[in-house]
Amino acid sequence: MPSAQEVIGVYKIVDDNSDFRIRIDEHNYKKRVVITGTPPWCSDTTRNTFQGEWMLVKQGTLKGWLKAGIMEKGKLFPSRQGTPQGGCVSPLLANISLHGMEHTLQAALPPYRQKQDGKWVYYRLNLIRYADDLVVLHADLGQLLKAKAVLEAWLQPMNLELKAGKTRIVHTLKAYKGAAGFDFLGCTIRQFPAGKTHSRAYRDGTSFGFCTRIYPSKQSLKTHQQALKGVIEQHQAAPQQALIDKLNPIIQGWANYFAGNHSSAAFVKMNHLTFLKLWSWAKRRHVNKSRRWIAHKYWKVDWGKWDFSASKDTRLSLHSGVKIKPYIKVKGRKSPYDGDWVYWATHMARHPEVGTRTAILLKKQQGKCNWCSLHFNREDQLETDHILPLSKGGKDRVDNLQLLHRHCHHQKTASDLYEVKENKERYS
């Protein structure tokens, strides 16, 4: 019997029947875009499902997008077959077509509980979908297989199906059919056996016995290194500054994407591999020079750090220079337009209805009042208070400010005043 949170299924939806792809023929330096087959998101049946009440985009807009052709060197190629996969409209169409999937699955496989060793164990299905990539999680293999059948039945009227080659059922901890863990959105998600200090615990104190690790997948590392390699090769004869300017956004963008996961080991590895590439780039430019000369020309080695730098102001960004910060999930039914400014300012440290200072304080205090430790509500009256009152020499700066409920602020001011009165000599 698998324990909670262990069995995981991964599905990749690809319309198998359609032979939909873009072919680029590079004859005579002229690019020709050929679209063949029925694209997954625009068959007539799919179009009919757009008319549901959950329609996000006006029908006309969507149809316009689908019918807009491709402009190539001033010539318009009308598209009869719809939007290309990987184009910017494609994820939106995927979201529109696949809306309601979670509801269907939850309705078909509701949560339940079972008694195990005298304890109630709760089982619940989870679905994570990003455009057409999705993961279904369930602690019970039987339920997972049922979920697969439900999904297939749900997709069928839209001419979609789970692609056999890309749909896998795996276990996150134990090897199931040869592999443990899975890749999703460029990350590998896996669990490892762990002692009680590295593992979370059940309510009664017994340890899970494993920890969950999310880190950049092997494929992501490879693709990223290939991107860096391509840029470095293109700049074999270019000035060092031009190379740095090209590499920095790639490195920062990649590292920021993975900064919410357990990526430090991957970042260190990427630093090292990037260094090796740059070292051979530098060596090829100066075949007759010594290694010491090359190092001093392209790296600022004097300060003990090897900074790949052409001038004092700029240097190559390091992957490990990006701080790893835990990702905080947005609550399920929250929307930025729901008017809950307390939640959003706490989450993002900014909100159009809230002043910058208040938003920063809300995030700092994690949405709680410093006086009564209760969460703020959107109906509450918030006031900014000087932790050390101005009358006692406190400064009007963010580090001396806190947000309080209005009534809590009254109490705090009263106690401040009392203190000032008691120690009149000290403050006068």
Residue 241 or 411 having the CB closest to Zn ion: 411
Residue 235 or 375 having the CB closest to Zn ion: 375
Q: State the Cα–Cα distance between residues 193 and 191, nearest whole angstrom.
A: 7
CA angle 42, 46, 52 (to 5 degrees): 130
Residue 258 or 371 having the CB closest to Zn ion: 371
CB of 406 to Zn ion, least distance (A): 9
Residue 332 three-state SS = coil
Per CB under 5 A, which region of 25-33, 100-108, 167-175, 398-406 contacts Zn ion?
Answer: 398-406
CB of 411 to Zn ion, least distance (A): 9
Binding pattern to Zn ion, positions 314-353, x when CB under 5 A?
----------------------------------------
Residues of span 352-371 touching Zn ion by CB under 5 A:
369, 371
Binding pattern to Zn ion, positions 203-222, x when CB under 5 A?
--------------------
Note whether 408 binds Zn ion by CB under 5 A. Answer: yes
Note whether 390 binds Zn ion by CB under 5 A. Answer: no
Q: Which residues pair with 162 in a beta bridge?
A: 13
Q: What is the four-CA torsion angle of 114, 115, 121, 123, rounded to 10 degrees?
A: -10
Give the number of residues in contact with Zn ion, rule: CB under 5 A. Answer: 5
Residue 351 or 405 having the CB closest to Zn ion: 405
The closest alpha carbon to 158, from 53, 42, 80, 10, belongs to 42
Amino acid found at 236: Q
Residue 47 or 375 having the CB closest to Zn ion: 375
Report whether 307 contacts 297 (CB < 8 A). no
Note whether 405 binds Zn ion by CB under 5 A. Answer: yes
CB of 389 to Zn ion, least distance (A): 18
Per CB under 5 A, which region of 88-96, 128-136, 230-238, 399-407 contacts Zn ion?
Answer: 399-407
Q: State the Cα–Cα distance between residues 138 and 225, nearest whole angstrom.
A: 35
Residue 173 or 369 having the CB closest to Zn ion: 369
Report whether 131 contacts 90 (CB < 8 A). yes
CB of 365 to Zn ion, least distance (A): 10
Q: State the Cα–Cα distance between residues 188 and 165, nearest whole angstrom.
A: 18
DSSP secondary structure of 242-306:
HHHHHHHHHHHHHHHHTTTSS-HHHHHHHHHHHHHHHHHHHHHH-TTS-HHHHHHHHEE-TTSS-
Characterize the bridge pairing of strands 70-72 and 30-36. Answer: unpaired
Residue 166 or 410 having the CB closest to Zn ion: 410
Per CB under 5 A, which region of 26-34, 167-175, 237-245, 372-380 contacts Zn ion?
Answer: 372-380
Per CB under 5 A, which region of 5-13, 188-196, 280-288, 403-411 contacts Zn ion?
Answer: 403-411
Residue 226 or 411 having the CB closest to Zn ion: 411
Residue least distant from Zn ion (Cβ): 369
The closest alpha carbon to 251, from 240, 261, 243, 239, belongs to 243
The closest alpha carbon to 85, from 28, 26, 20, belongs to 20
Which residues of this protein are in contact with Zn ion, per CB under 5 A? 369, 371-372, 405, 408
